Amino acid sequence: MNRLDLTVSAEHAGERLDKFLSDSVEGLSRSSLTKLIEDGKVTVGEKAVKKNYKVADGDRVTVLIDDPKPVDITPEDIPLDIVYEDEHLLVVNKPKGMVVHPAPGNYSGTLVNALMYHCGDHLSGINGELRPGIVHRIDKNTSGLLAVAKSDIAHAGLSEQIKDHSFTRRYLAICYGNIKEDERTVDAPIGRHKIDRKKMCVTQLNSKPAVTHIKVLERYQGFTYIKCRLETGRTHQIRVHLASIGHPIAGDDVYGPSKVITALGGQCLHAYQLGFIHPVTGEYIEFTADPPESFISFREKLRSRMDV
């Protein structure tokens, strides 16, 4: 049994317990969390409560999550670009094209398959049997840095920082068009698309708050090179936000124009910087990773056009 301890902050005061947990616990669906509440595995101040309980500032919420069931995920000897590792966690630079965890249609070749080969049984079980060690994700065709928890204490500590928006995540991207402002913030809620359920969109319906801070680095003919800082971490957040303001990411075959730049092999988006307080040592640590060659080549090609 895994135990997750959460403290309600002022911004969540007055929310229903199920909504608070949905916003605070990475990797578990709202229905899964509701079942935990109904099974008495969620307590507030050591007392079992119902899902519609209104949490208060300072409430201590405890979530008990069953140990993951044994699952037949095959460890695979896939090379990993490990930026940092200790007994509690590691930081990897995920290549574009790699799925983070097994799912229908992708039960091999994932980051989890590679992690199970590298770490063996030393991965946190909080996120369930198919996502051992996975605290947060990036899309298949997005490259960059990911923190992986080897212990439950590391997983809980990293999840808490993500919830509190103190987990530093910065991305580099090349998007269509000319973003006129040097700096811009997109504050727009994101939810599931009502028709295409595989897509996300900016919507007020069944959505969660989402904030992306954008800074222009360079402008080219028809494109802008930008840096994005995530304040929240919703599914496809940067891709959706940029598309919503008319500047979809180059190479994005979901949210971009129909004529995709196929040579990029996916969206020109790279998680280049990751920073957090080590959940065991208490030290702030930060890592950076250069974009992949496809990103750099495309950027240099756009730069060269400006010199003509």
pLDDT tens figures, 124-149: 887 766 678 899 999 999 999 999 99
d(CA 294, CA 84): 24
pLDDT of residue 25: 80
> What CATH number does domain 2-65 carry, 3.40.50.880, 3.40.50.150, 3.10.290.10, 1.20.140.10?
3.10.290.10
Domain limits, the chain = 2-65, 67-164, 168-271+294-306
Given 3-state DSSP classes, what are the helix, strand and coil percentages for the chain, each rounded to the nearest 5?
Answer: 20, 30, 50
Segment 102-110 mean pLDDT: 79
Catalytic-residue membership of 67: no
Q: Token pair 């590679």 is at which residue?
A: 114
Is the pLDDT reported for residue 286 higher than 90?
Answer: yes
Residues 6+ apart with CB under 8 A from 86: none
Percent of the residues in the chain that have a pLDDT greater than 90, as a whole number: 69
Q: Is the per-residue pLDDT at 298 higher than 90?
A: yes
The single-letter DSSP state of residue 263 is G
C-alpha–C-alpha distance, residues 20 and 13, integer Å:
9
Kindly name the residue from 139, 187, 253, 307 that is annotated as catalytic: 139
What does the alpha-carbon distance between residue 190 and residue 204 come to, in Å, rounded to a whole number? Answer: 8
168-271+294-306 and 67-164 share a CATH fold: yes
Taking Cα atoms as reference points, which of 265, 290, 274, 285 lies closest to residue 139?
265
- Determine the average pLDDT of the residues in 207-213: 95
Instruction: Locate 74 and state its tokens.
Output: 């095959």
Strand partners, 225: 174, 218
Residue 165 has a pLDDT of 87
> Under a CB-based contact definition with an 8 Å cutoff, are residues 65 and 1 in contact?
yes
Q: What is the mean pLDDT of residues 280-300?
A: 97
69 pLDDT exceeds 60?
A: no
Q: How far apart are CA 138 and CA 236, in angstroms?
A: 8
Which alpha helices (DSSP H) does the chain contain, by range? 17-24, 30-38, 111-119, 152-163, 237-244, 293-306
What does DSSP say about strands 2-7 and 211-219: parallel, antiparallel, or unpaired? unpaired
For the ranges 16-25, 84-93, 100-109, which has the lowest average pLDDT?
Answer: 100-109
Number of helices and strands in the chain (H, E)? 6, 15
What is the chain's mean pLDDT, rounded? 91
Does the pLDDT at position 277 exceed 80? yes
Segment among 71-80, 108-117, 261-270 with least mean pLDDT: 71-80
Phi first, then psi: give them for residue 9, nearest 5 degrees.
-95, 170
* Among 29-33, 192-196, 298-302, the least confident range: 29-33
Q: Does domain 67-164 have CATH number 3.30.2350.10?
A: yes
Q: How far is CA 235 from CA 49, 99, 118, 160, 302, in A?
A: 29, 14, 27, 18, 29
33 pLDDT band, cuts 50/70/90, is confident
What kind of fold does domain 168-271+294-306 have according to CATH? Pseudouridine synthase (3.30.2350)
The 10 Å Cβ neighbour count of residue 99 is 20
Q: Please identify which residue in the block is written with the tokens 């800074």.
A: 215
